[in-house]
Amino acid sequence: MITIKLKGSQIILQVLQEEGVEIIFGYPGGMTIDIYDDLAKSSIKHILVRHEQGAVHAADGYARASGGVGVCLVTSGPGATNTVTGLASAFMDSIPIVVLTGQVPTRLIGNDAFQEVDIVGITRPCTKHNYLVKDVENLARVLKEAFYIARSGRPGPVLVDLPKDVLQASTTYKSINETRMPSYNPTYEPNARQLPKAVKLIKESRRPMVLTGGGVILSGAAEELRTFARKIESPVASTLMGLGAFPASDPLWLGMIGMHGTFRANMSSAECDLMIAVGVRFDDRVTGKIEEFAPKARIVHIDIDPTSIRKNIPVSVPIVGDCKITLRKLNQLLEKEDAKDLIQSRDPWLKLIEEWKATKQLSYDQKKCANIKPQYVIEMLSRMSNGKAIITTEVGQNQMWAAQYYQFDHPNRFITSGGLGCMGFGLPAAIGAQIAQPDKLVVDIAGDGSIQMNIQEMATAVQYGLPVKVVILNNRYLGMVRQWQELFYDRCYSCTDMEHGPDFVKLAEAYGAVGLRATRPDEVESVLKEGLSLPRTVIMEFIVEREECVYPMVPAGKAITDMLLT
């Protein structure tokens, strides 16, 4: 056990080092200056962002790409409030991050002091847990608990608020080797009595499907999922957050389900007699009209969070447990079953799915269009990167086209704001992902509207020599809102026209990056080839068809089988 005399600011860095933290994303201020003074003398690398929201998104991207906990450090007041959007995004997507916020001295809390806000109160609804540390004696324990809570069970963001006097106070520091919280005990092992019930339903099923979500990726269960699906010969669909957990190149792959899901995935959900949902929340973008979701199916729901089960959808067999552990145990039970009988019983079902796939594919026609189709850019990017890039996205049409047309065969390659749908997420998340995976190609797929939400982080990418690539699908509209206005509001394009925008090539150059542009279809491949090959930060702007829509699309409130296909 380490026993030394340390200031609060030194204790923070000591605990971070013990937790294996190598990178912090942050922005300094008066209330955190003591931490920054000691940080300069430590081995931890600090990434200076240009906005605190960018710091949280970067920590989020870092966590997803590394499989660890992302860390963010900001000052009090506006520094703290600027983290709220990033916290909410990480909370909804179950991403483990720890956000450290400065706070005014304890004697001034509640006095409306300069740059004082109740950030604990503000973020209570959008964090897994949060703390206000009022005594330096509790600091080490709280920080250890913060990391433990963030990474365990269903992961999520934890905020620790740090008054300035606590950072300056000294105490004897004793290292904490193990964190125990009697009131917090996540369930990892599934109930053994539930697993045979699931196997029984699998054996009885003739038209099963597996629905996979972000929980599979978070638990590192991709290999177990693939084994499971192939063992029971079941097609697999995915939510937006689950893309990559099952290979898009596999014959059993159905594609993404939901509002912009594939025809075969959505139809399979309506016709299956068994749905095995693994690590999903059944949010409204996935289910559509709840009363008509999977009407013929018995549902097995596997999730580590008991509050997610039966929250939105009634289920036949609830299984609370870690996805990886649960799938492994199911695979062990299934090894005792006759696989030939299972496979033969699936033939009519798989043939029906093949008919759906053959007749209602994702499609666009670049040859008949003089302008660049955004889908063509994504398909070409997928082909040229061999589907191996880490893709981050902004939010809007660009996000959906990326999900539909980039072929994800591996987990942790698709990083997006799924639950919150946060514009401005992609660029800082790409920075975090690139730092976590310096040898990987990292590409942010963006729209011209969304990229401008956090465009200032170009300076961060250039300052640290990060070869992040930004692919901007520029239609000079807020595209997804415009699409809704076209389809449901008589083409009244109220406040969505962004005809006046920056010259992104010159903007890239102003930041010290490389700027490239394609205005014709025959320029797409050459621009991508050049941009992807450069070992620098690059913006590639593609002037795309202005009124292109994302299809399929399920209108709000409709069943997911009620799709607009063109």
What is the rounded CA–CA span in Å between residue 168 and residue 136? 9
CB 285 within 8 A of CB 258: yes
Q: Decide if 195-359 and 374-543 have a common fold.
A: yes
Phi-psi sector, 461: left (phi>0), alpha (psi -120 to 50), beta: alpha
pLDDT of 337: 82
Domains of the chain: which residue ranges? 3-174, 195-359, 374-543
Considering 22, 115, 197, 203, which one is annotated as catalytic? 115
H or E element at residue 349: helix 339-359
CATH class of 374-543: alpha beta
Can you tell me the distance from the alpha carbon of 559 to that of 286, in angstroms, rounded to the nearest whole number? 10
pLDDT number for residue 23: 98
d(CA 287, CA 213): 13
The stretches of 82-221 forming alpha helices (DSSP H) are: 84-93, 119-123, 139-151, 164-168, 195-204, 214-218
- Which residue has tokens 């973008």? 285
Among the listed residues 114, 174, 189, 547, the single catalytic one is 114
Q: With H, G, I as helix, E, B as strand and everything else as coil, classify residue 26.
A: strand
pLDDT confidence of residue 2: 65
DSSP state of 476: S
Residues in the chain where the model's pLDDT stays below 70 = 1-2, 339
Secondary structure element (H or E) that encloses residue 227, with its range: helix 222-232
| Cβ(295)–Cβ(281) below 8 Å | no
CA geometry: angle at 328 spanning 313 and 410, to 5°?
Answer: 80
List the catalytic residue out of 480, 540, 553, 563: 480
pLDDT digits (tens, 9 = 90+) for 470-519: 999 999 999 999 999 999 999 999 999 998 999 999 999 999 999 999 99
Catalytic residue among 7, 128, 144, 164: 164
Beta strand 170-174 with 3-7: parallel, antiparallel or unpaired? Answer: antiparallel
- Residue 268, by phi and psi: left (phi above 0), alpha (psi -120 to 50) or beta? alpha
Mean pLDDT of all residues belonging to the chain: 96
User: Is residue 52 annotated as part of the catalytic site, yes or no?
Assistant: yes
For residue 463, what pLDDT is reported?
Answer: 98
Say what the pLDDT of residue 449 is.
97
Q: Assign domain 3-174 to its CATH superfamily.
A: Thiamin diphosphate (ThDP)-binding fold, Pyr/PP domains (3.40.50.970)
Architecture of domain 195-359: 3-Layer(aba) Sandwich (3.40)
CA distance to 190, 217, 293, 456, per residue, from 27 (Å): 42, 30, 45, 13
Of 114, 94, 109, 89, which is closest to residue 161 (Cα–Cα)? Answer: 109
Is the distance from CB of 122 to CB of 182 less than 8 angstroms?
Answer: no
Show the tokens assigned to 49: 């962002």
Whether residue 115 lies in the annotated active site: yes
Q: What's residue 176's pLDDT?
A: 86
Strand 253-256 vs strand 97-103: parallel, antiparallel, or unpaired?
A: unpaired
pTM for the model: 0.96
Please identify which of the residues 7, 14, 31, 52 carries the catalytic annotation.
52
Q: What is the largest CA-CA distance in the chain?
A: 73
393: left (phi over 0), alpha (psi -120 to 50) or beta: beta
| Catalytic residue flag (residue 45) | no
State yes or no: is 480 an active-site residue. yes
pLDDT 10s digits, 299-319:
999 999 999 999 999 999 999
Question: What local confidence, expressed as pLDDT, does residue 1 receive?
Answer: 58
Q: Which amino acid makes up residue 326?
A: T
